[in-house]
Amino acid sequence: MNVKLNDNVLVITGKYKGKQGKVLKCDPKSGRVIVEGVNMVFKHEKARKANETSKIVNEESYIDASNVMVVCPACNKPTRVYFSLIDGKKVRVHGGKDGCGKPLDTAASQKKGKKAAPVAEEEAPKKRTRKRSQKAAEENKD
């Protein structure tokens, strides 16, 4: 499945065709996603406690992942997802004949332009000594 959590996607078929939204939940096993503001359904909730009231809730439901296209954050166009190796890692890229070639994953795009900063060496913790041995050392100095 080429769609990931928090991706901005465009619905390409069905009742909500042309609508954009953020992916709220993914289910790779069944190949379905929940998109913000898409495939709204009514759910009836029964009151479970004495002080609650029953209500009808309007919420998003799953749609098939094949019915959405990822929107490139760089050029803001819907795209097919291609994969490329960047720094030895497989990364999703906006490709094809009219693609900008920029990574779709924000973490990959940040790592692409920046070099890793050198890690500062930590000081070794002070050696712990027992109180008895400290007293003995002080008495020996006198």
Average pLDDT score over the chain: 83
Quick: pLDDT tens for 84-93: 888 888 888 8
Amino acid identity of residue 49, one-letter, is K
Does 46 or 126 have the greater pLDDT score?
46
Burial class (CB in 10 A: 0-12, 13-18, 19+), 104: buried
Flag whether pLDDT at 103 surpasses 70. Answer: yes
Does one domain contain both 65 and 1?
yes
Residue 48 φ then ψ, to 5°: -100, -20
Does one domain contain both 95 and 51?
no
| Residues of the domain holding 12 | 1-71
Answer yes or no: is 134 within a domain: no
Average pLDDT over residues 25-36: 94
Q: What is the pTM of this model?
A: 0.67
For every residue of 41-64, DSSP letters joined together read EEEEE---STT---EEEEEE--EE
- State how many domains the chain has: 2
* Distance of alpha carbon 77 from alpha carbon 81, whole angstroms: 12
The conformation of residue 67, written as its DSSP 8-state character, comes to G
